[in-house]
């Protein structure tokens, strides 16, 4: 039985690694997801077979929990909209962290004289990291859902951050040295870890949410790895390490895309709502009519679409693909500029456009897009704000100064689709919207695109 479990875990780990590798490209991502799913099923089978060796029989609890979880998760996954995918990911992270916390608490409550110090330390790490991931993810969910827009920064926030961490380390040392009857140190640690998840996420602004989601994902992976270490489950251990490592790498890459350090993001050093360039003069957003927008794009050689969260909110990805196909019949070359932190989670825009069957070859990364913008006739910005904000280049007082952006101003003409005249999710004013090259098309992106498509069809 032990050999069978080892083989199942080995295959599961290979499936995880190979599945993640296949997810690097949209053409193979679906198969990669399926292979990873097979690995997860094999890992579950191995975990359920393993207790047979020692006579444990908790299958009623296990199967019952799987039925309840499946009954809740399946309809949620089927009904979730693409615009709510970041919220779903945040909750997945949180529930994974809560599971690791529960495992850590159970193991620490049951420690005795024979419990090795190493096992205690691993259980403590699972508890702390899981609890931080749980409450932090719940708070991130509330921010993404728009139910919590306030940024709360306690005076001396960094100092209290350090104090909480040091207290948790001290409590961990007390628990590690105890042989039984931990008592109050364990309960204080649980409360502090849960509170810290809220404390470090609360001051982080909306524009940093993609980085926060990625960071919390890596923390959940680390907590899962710690839980795997507790039970000697190699599939869980290596799977958690893979998630933690990939989440960490992605977090670092996204920080680099914003020209900031992870430490700066965690300490909420920038992206405070309400920042941005100011002006003593009244600035006016100049609008464009439906016929003018249609004609401008129809008689262009090339159009570059810059998608943002507004595209996801309006569920307009398939409509923009229809516009793409229609313009292609007139000889217009349409491509898409993807900023690494556009949307509310890593790869958000890529997922949306892949759902609409936009060819992957049409998606340009930041550097390629900026090179193409210098020879672009029309830029169509759909619901994006910070990733096209020129203040990042020329306003040292802006909270996004130094962040690499898509240089939409390099194009000859700019059309921006916005729902209103506000500053958007992050609260940062965007001078691009007032520039002489820019024309605004107000309204829901899906409805606006449909209007332009109808006008184009009349002209053809």
Catalytic residues: 386
Tell me how far apart the 2 most distant CA atoms of the chain are, in Å: 83
- Contact of 459 with 329, CB cutoff 8 Å: no
- Contact of 431 with 389, CB cutoff 8 Å: yes
| Residue among 35, 343, 379 at smallest CA distance from 351 | 343
Count the helices and strands in the chain (H runs, E runs).
17, 6
The Cα–Cα gap between 109 and 230 comes to 14
Q: Which H or E run contains 237?
A: helix 234-257
Q: What one-character-per-residue DSSP string does 435-458 give?
A: STTEEEEES-HHHHHHHHHHHHHH
Q: Which H or E run contains 380?
A: strand 378-382
The Cα–Cα gap between 203 and 450 comes to 39
| Residue among 415, 389, 411, 393 at smallest CA distance from 402 | 393
Q: How does DSSP classify residue 343?
A: S
Q: Return the sign of the alpha-carbon dihedral for residues 206, 207, 211, 217.
A: positive
Backbone angles phi, psi at 305, to 5 degrees: -90, 130
Measured CA to CA in angstroms, residue 322 lies from 218, 302, 439 at distances of 37, 16, 22
The Cα–Cα gap between 25 and 370 comes to 22
The Cα–Cα gap between 316 and 449 comes to 8
Measured CA to CA in angstroms, residue 152 lies from 161, 269, 332 at distances of 14, 13, 48
Give the other-Cβ count within 10 Å of 23's Cβ. Answer: 18
- 335: tokens are 């491509």
How far the first Cα of the chain sits from its last, in Å, is: 70
The Cα–Cα gap between 197 and 255 comes to 20
The Cα–Cα gap between 136 and 195 comes to 9
The Cα–Cα gap between 67 and 70 comes to 5
């Amino acid at each position: 039985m032990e050999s069978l479990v080892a083989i199942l875990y080995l295959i599961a780990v290979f499936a995880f690694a190979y599945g993640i590798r296949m997810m690097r490209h949209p053409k193979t991502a679906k198969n990669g997801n399926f292979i990873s799913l097979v690995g997860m099923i094999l890992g579950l089978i191995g975990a359920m077979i393993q207790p047979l060796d020692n006579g444990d029989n908790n299958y009623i609890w296990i199967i019952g929990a799987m039925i309840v979880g499946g009954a809740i998760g399946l309809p949620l996954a089927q009904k979730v909209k693409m615009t709510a995918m970041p919220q779903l990911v945040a909750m997945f992270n949180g529930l994974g962290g809560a599971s690791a916390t529960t495992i850590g608490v159970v193991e620490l409550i049951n420690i005795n004289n024979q419990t090795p110090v190493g096992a205690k330390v691993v259980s403590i790490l699972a508890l702390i990291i899981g609890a931080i991931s749980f409450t932090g993810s719940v708070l991130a969910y509330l921010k993404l859902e728009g139910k919590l827009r306030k940024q709360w920064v306690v005076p001396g926030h960094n100092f209290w951050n350090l104090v909480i961490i040091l207290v948790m380390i001290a409590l961990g040392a007390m628990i590690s040295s105890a042989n039984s009857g931990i008592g109050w140190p364990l309960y204080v640690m649980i409360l502090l870890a849960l509170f810290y998840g809220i404390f470090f996420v609360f001051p982080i602004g909306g524009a940093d949410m993609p980085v926060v989601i990625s960071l919390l994902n890596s923390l959940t992976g680390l907590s899962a790895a710690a839980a795997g270490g507790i039970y000697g489950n190699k599939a869980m251990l290596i799977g958690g390490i893979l998630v933690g490592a990939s989440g960490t790498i992605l977090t670092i890459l996204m920080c680099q895309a914003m020209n900031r350090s992870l430490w700066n993001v965690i300490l909420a050093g920038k992206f405070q709502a309400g920042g941005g360039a100011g002006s003593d003069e009244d600035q006016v957003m100049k609008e464009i009519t439906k016929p003018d927008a249609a004609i401008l794009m129809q008689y262009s050689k090339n159009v570059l679409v810059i998608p943002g969260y507004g595209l996801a909110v309006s569920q307009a990805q398939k409509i923009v693909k229809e516009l793409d196909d229609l313009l292609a019949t007139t000889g217009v070359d349409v491509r898409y500029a993807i900023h690494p932190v556009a949307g509310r989670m890593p790869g958000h825009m890529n997922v949306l456009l892949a759902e609409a069957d936009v060819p992957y070859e049409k998606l340009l990364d930041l550097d390629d897009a900026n090179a193409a913008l210098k020879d672009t006739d029309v830029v169509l910005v759909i619901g994006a704000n910070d990733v096209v904000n020129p203040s990042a280049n020329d306003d040292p007082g802006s909270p996004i100064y130094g962040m690499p952006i898509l240089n939409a101003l390099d194009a000859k003409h700019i059309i921006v689709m916005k729902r209103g005249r506000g500053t958007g999710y992050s609260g940062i004013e965007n001078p691009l919207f007032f520039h002489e090259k820019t024309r605004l098309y107000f309204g829901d992106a899906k409805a606006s695109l449909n209007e332009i498509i109808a006008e184009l069809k009349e002209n053809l």
